[in-house]
Structures are given as structure tokens and as C-alpha cells.
């Protein structure tokens, strides 16, 4: 089945930028390799929020798709997030990523304007019907303000090319209902800090920003939950959430990049208007690297 091969743990790929905000190709390639070789992920979700996508030009998005595909080749599955409030851009990116050989596309729900469901449905069908590829809905209501009902997801899923959803929401009732009604659709958990309850409810995998550094634990949580070893998975989720709390308290993307830098990966800077990491933030990130990735080998080797 099409969806079966797409299951698993995906890093929402970070992008390395230089101090002037230009794509750092060398650094981006290193981040891809780190995810494949150290985090052992099943795939990469390219062009999402974690990739600072919504601050980039169309050409920059295309270049990131190119670099990620060239570096990863066919070692892992690749999902291209092509969504945009500019539907013409979304279609252009969908065609571009499909031509590059991406395994699937994803698109954030159209945001900012209060689109009704008919407009949202038209958006998805316009994108996916323009290419010979598959679509994963990117639902992230706390950033987009777009909440869809179970029936509305079902209406989108009537298009066989729409194979699943990246579910970045804390509505576990909706998640459970969706899993029961659509057993053949892919559901990815989108909140790293809520991965265990999502896994218990039967998601097919997870897509997360912290997986760029914490992918090993993410897989452990997912696989232990699948084996019914919830108490063991919970211990790893506790450690993971301690890490996430520390990261969020220090600056999300800046801190993950600083941890990677401390691990020898040229993760670079964030794109403005995101702020540059301060010396204090970098010190705290180094402390996190030591605490969670150098002194926690017992946890990592469960």
C-alpha cells in the first residue's frame, strides 16, 4: 500500500543560513547527513515551519529542495512542504519537487485570510491535481487559525491522492476519531512533546523539529508505544520534554542550531526577523548538549 512505505520518524528539516541570511549549502548538507547518519530518521520533511520556509523566496525554496534531494538521494523518504498563501507558487513548487523525485508533497492550510472550507478544498485539489504525486495535509491550527472538522478531513480524503495529514494539534479526541474513521490514511504526530499519547492512539509516525537533535529518542518512544511498553516510553518522553522545555525557554530554532553546532554540524544562523543567538543562549545550548546528549547514554541505548 502507498502509505505503508511512508510511515516512520521524519525530521522537520532545519536550514542553515549564513549571517547575512543566505542559504549555507555546506551547512544544509551537513544537517541532512546528521539526520540520516546520527538521528537515523526514516525521512525528511523539507520546507516546513522549521525550515523557516515562510520567510523565503520561491527560488530559495527550490534551492533547498534541490540540495536536500541531492544530499539524501534515495537513502530516506522525502516530503516537500509546498504550501503557500500564493496558490500559483504552491503549484509551481509542487511541480518542481515532483520533478526532483520527492516521495510526497505536503501543504499547510492556507492562512492569514479567513478562507472557508470550499476555498481550502479547492486549494488542496488545485495543488495535487497539477502533479503526479501524493499529498499530506499540514494541519497546524495554533499558527494558522484553521480548524477542520472530522467530516471536512473526510471530504479532503475522498481525493485518493490526498493520503494523510501532519496533525500538529493537541486535540486528541479528533485524532482518535480520525484514526478510527480513516485507518488507511497516514497520520503523523506533529507535536514532539505529545508524541507518546499520539503514538498510543495509533499514529503512523511523527514529524518534528527537535528530531534534528533528538531523533533517536523519538524513535524509541514511537517503537516502545507500538510494543505496548508505555511506561518505558513515558520515561523517555519525560527526558524529551525536559529537553523541549529547556529549548523553548532559550529560543527554539536558535537553540537547536546551537546544539548542532556544538556537535560539529554547521547549522548556522536563523533568517531575520528571527533574532541571532546571544552568547548566553549559546552557553545554555552547550549545557543542554552536554546534559542530554553526552551524559544520557543509558537512555539513548534503551
| 204 in a labelled binding site | no
Q: Is 192 annotated as a binding residue?
A: yes
Terminal-to-terminal C-alpha distance of the chain = 31
Whether residue 168 is annotated as binding a ligand: the answer is yes
Is 58 annotated as ligand-binding?
Answer: no
The annotation status of 4 as a binding-site residue, yes or no, is no
Give me the residues paired with residue 205 across strands: 8, 188
- 98 marked as binding residue: no
Handedness of CA 42, 48, 49, 53 (dihedral sign): positive
Helix (H) / strand (E) containing 287: helix 279-293
As a whole number of angstroms, the distance between CA 251 and CA 276 comes to 10
Catalytic one of 10, 45, 124, 138: 138
Is 77 catalytic? The answer is no
Catalytic residue among 166, 185, 257, 284: 166
Please answer whether residues 49 and 256 qualify as being in contact, where contact means their C-beta atoms are separated by less than 8 angstroms.
Answer: no
Q: Is 253 a catalytic residue?
A: no
- Contact present, 277 and 255 (Cβ < 8 Å): yes
* CA separation for the pair 102, 84 (Å, rounded): 18
Q: Which of 185, 152, 200, 146 is nearest to 168 (CA)?
A: 146
State the sign of the Cα–Cα–Cα–Cα dihedral 121, 147, 54, 282: negative
36 labeled part of a ligand binding site? no
Dihedral sign for Cα atoms in the order 202, 192, 127, 99:
negative
Does the annotation place 127 within a ligand binding site?
no
Place of cell 537533535: 213
Whether 208 contacts 195, CB under 8 Å: yes
Known binding-site residues for aceneuramate equal 49-50, 168, 190, 192-193, 209
Please report, in range form, the residues annotated as the binding site for pyruvate: 50, 207
The annotated binding site is made up of 49-50, 168, 190, 192-193, 207, 209
Which sequence positions are flagged as catalytic? 138, 166
Amino acid at each position: 500500500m502507498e502509505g505503508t512505505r511512508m510511515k516512520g520518524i521524519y525530521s522537520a528539516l532545519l536550514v542553515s543560513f549564513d549571517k547575512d541570511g543566505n542559504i549555507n549549502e555546506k551547512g544544509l548538507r551537513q544537517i541532512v547527513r546528521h539526520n540520516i547518519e546520527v538521528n537515523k530518521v526514516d525521512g525528511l520533511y523539507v520546507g516546513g515551519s522549521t525550515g523557516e520556509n515562510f520567510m523565503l523566496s520561491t527560488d530559495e525554496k527550490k534551492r533547498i529542495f534541490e540540495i536536500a534531494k541531492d544530499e539524501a538521494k534515495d537513502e530516506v523518504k522525502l516530503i516537500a512542504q509546498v504550501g503557500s498563501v500564493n496558490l500559483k507558487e504552491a503549484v509551481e513548487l509542487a511541480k518542481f519537487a515532483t520533478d526532483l523525485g520527492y516521495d510526497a508533497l505536503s501543504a499547510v492550510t492556507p492562512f492569514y485570510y479567513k478562507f472557508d472550507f470550499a476555498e481550502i478544498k479547492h486549494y488542496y485539489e488545485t495543488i495535487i491535481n497539477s502533479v503526479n504525486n501524493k499529498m499530506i495535509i499540514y494541519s497546524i491550527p495554533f499558527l494558522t487559525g484553521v480548524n477542520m472538522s472530522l467530516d471536512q478531513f473526510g471530504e479532503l480524503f475522498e481525493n485518493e491522492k490526498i493520503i494523510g495529514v501532519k496533525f500538529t494539534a493537541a486535540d486528541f479526541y479528533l485524532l482518535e476519531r480520525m484514526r478510527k474513521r480513516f485507518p488507511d490514511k497516514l497520520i503523523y504526530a506533529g507535536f514532539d512533546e505529545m508524541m507518546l499519547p499520539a503514538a498510543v492512539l495509533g499514529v503512523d509516525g511523527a514529524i518534528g523539529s527537535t528530531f534534528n537533535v533528538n531523533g533517536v529518542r523519538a524513535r524509541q518512544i514511537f517503537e516502545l508505544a507500538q510494543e505496548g511498553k508505555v511506561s518505558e516510553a513515558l520515561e523517555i518522553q519525560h527526558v524529551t520534554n525536559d529537553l523541549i522545555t529547556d529549548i523553548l525557554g532559550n529560543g527554539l530554532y536558535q537553540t537547536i542550531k546551537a546544539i548542532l553546532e556544538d556537535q560539529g554540524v554547521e547549522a548556522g544562523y536563523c533568517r531575520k526577523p528571527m533574532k541571532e543567538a546571544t552568547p548566553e543562549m549559546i552557553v545554555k545550548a552547550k549545557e543542554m548538549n552536554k546534559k542530554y546528549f553526552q551524559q544520557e547514554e543509558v537512555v539513548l541505548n534503551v
